[in-house]
Amino acid sequence: MNRLEIKRWEGRSFFRVLILAAVIGLITACATVPLTGRSQLNLLSDAQLFRMSLDSYREILSKSKLSQDQAKVAMVRGVGQRIARAAEDFLRENGLEHEIAKYQWEFNLIDDDKTINAWCMPGGKIAVYTGILPITKDETGLAVVVGHEVAHALAKHGNERMSQALLIQMGGIALAVALAEKPQQTRELYLAAFGAGATVGILLPYSRQHEYEADRIGLTIMAKAGYDPRAAVGLWERMNEASKGKRPPEFLSTHPAPESRIEYIKEFIPEAMEYYRPGLNQPVRQRIAWHD
C-alpha cells in the first residue's frame, strides 16, 4: 500500500468513526413518549434545559405584571397543584419515577387580558395569562389547558422542537456553542419551543403528532386529578370560536386546531374516563413552590 492509498484509507476510517460517533449520539439521544410509546430524538440534556428554563422563567416574570386578583390566582394554583400531583402519578405508573424529582412545580397568573395563552417549561415552570380565563370559564376548563401544557412537558416535546430548530436553523451545533455564538437567537428559539415565544415575537408550531400526544396525555392527567375529561370538547370548541374572524389566539398559534382534533379527543375520552373519579380533591404537595 503506497502513501496515497494509506491516506485514503485513513480518511475513510476517520469518516467511518465520525459516522459511528454520530449514530451512537443519536441512539443515546433517543427517548420514548409515555403512553403513546413513540420514539423521539432529544439532543439536549435535562440539565441544560432546566437551567435555561429557570433563567427564562424568572426573566419573563420580572417583565410581566402578575395578577393581584386573589380568587383567580387561587384557582390557577389550586388547579395546578392537582394537575401536578396527577402528572407525578402518571410518571410513576409509566415507570418514570426517576423523572419526578426533576419537576419543581411553579404556577403563576400573568395579568394580560389581551394574551390568550398558557405554557409549561421544563421542570414544571408554568404561566397562565388572564386572557385565556374567559375561554376556560371554570376550573375544569382551566384543567384542560394546564393538563395539555404539562403533557407537552412530560412528553418532552419542547426538547424535540428545540433539537430540530438547532439542526435546521443553526446547522446542528451544540447548545453551548449556539449560546456562545448566537445567544439572543438561541434564547428566542428556546422560548418559542415552549410556547412562550409570543414574548419575543416568534412561535414554533407543534406538529400534529405532538398535539395529539399532548391531548391524549392531558386528558389522562386531568382525569387522574379529578376533572371530567369530557369538558375538553367544549374547551376546544370555544377556543376555535375565539379564532374565527380575527387573529388566532397565541394558544392556537402554537397549537393548531383543525376540526378533526375534536374528533380525536372524543376518541380518547373513554380511555381517560377510566381514571376519572368525580369530586376527587388531591392533597397539596409541600414542595410545590409559588412566586409571590
- Residues known to be catalytic: 149
Secondary structure (3-state) at 190: helix
In Å, how far from its chain's centre is CA 223?
19
Phi, psi angles (nearest 5°) of residue 87: -65, -40
Q: Output DSSP code: residue 124.
A: T
Q: Looking at the chain, which runs of residues are DSSP E strands?
A: 30-32, 39-41, 106-110, 118-121, 125-129
* Residue 289, SS3 per DSSP: strand
Residue 192's nearest CA partner among 200, 203, 182, 183 is 203
Beta strand segments in 22-175, E: 30-32, 39-41, 106-110, 118-121, 125-129
